[in-house]
Amino acid sequence: MTGQHGRVNLETALSHMRDVVARWYVGQARAADIVHTACDLLVAGLDGPSLCMLAAVSVRHADEEVPELLEAALRDVGLAFFEKGTQAAQETGLQAMAARVLSGAMTPRELAVWAHATFGHGTLERAERLVQLDDFYDTVDYMEATVEDLDAEVLRAARGILNPSAQQ
């Protein structure tokens, strides 16, 4: 995907929109990012009145306008929408962040810290292991485990978040 400067692959653009919206649900992407990604969807050949309206939003007003337009725009392109703040939105955001650590876009420790700061203890069951691991990072000097052991455990937890049926 080359975005603003040329050809945009349709599947890549849809995947990017799914990821940006998921991260927006949990405060890890800006509404303006969604507007830019909507433009990429248009360049990729997708169309729809709500998608066009979303792509036309001024980034200056994105925080106010994107929440009003997003559901219909996602419907235009066949992507799922969840109300921000719902468990489904949080889980979608958690999956996007887990994918980022598995792709190397963030470190395991960063994912654990983010999960702890975002969800805390006892809030989102699928994030609980990451939250616990963040606590362990804080006390690793007093444990038999190493930072590398904790990193491996975070990666295992991230894989489980993305593929719950594969968890042992």
Give residue 113's pLDDT: 98
Inform me whether the pLDDT recorded for 2 exceeds 60: no
pLDDT band at 145 (very low <50, low <70, confident <90, very high): very high
Inform me whether the pLDDT recorded for 160 exceeds 60: yes
Closest C-alpha among 103, 145, 109, 105 to residue 130 = 109
Report domain extents, the chain: 3-77, 87-166
Mean pLDDT along residues 22-48 = 97
Contact in structure between 132 and 162 (CB atoms under 8 Å): no
Give residue 7's pLDDT: 67
pTM for this predicted structure: 0.90
Mean pLDDT along residues 87-105 = 98
Give residue 57's pLDDT: 99
Inform me whether the pLDDT recorded for 76 exceeds 70: yes
Contact in structure between 15 and 30 (CB atoms under 8 Å): no
Burial of residue 79 (CB within 10 Å: 0-12, 13-18, 19+) is middle
Q: Could you read off the pLDDT of 115-140 as tens digits, one per residue?
A: 999 999 999 999 999 999 999 999 99
DSSP 9-39: -HHHHHHHHHHHHHHHHTTSS-HHHHHHHHH
Inform me whether the pLDDT recorded for 51 exceeds 50: yes
CA–CA separation, 168 vs 166, rounded Å? Answer: 6
Closest C-alpha among 90, 57, 56, 75 to residue 161 = 90
Mean pLDDT along residues 49-75 = 98
Alpha helices in 44-146 (DSSP H): 49-55, 62-77, 87-103, 108-119, 128-138
- 79: three-class secondary structure by DSSP: coil
Phi, psi of 27 (to 5 degrees): 75, 20
Q: What percent of the chain has pLDDT over 70?
A: 94
Mean pLDDT along residues 48-69 = 98
Tokens of 62: 């994105």
pLDDT band at 8 (very low <50, low <70, confident <90, very high): confident
User: Who contacts 166 (Cβ-Cβ below 8 Å, separation ≥6)?
Assistant: 159, 160
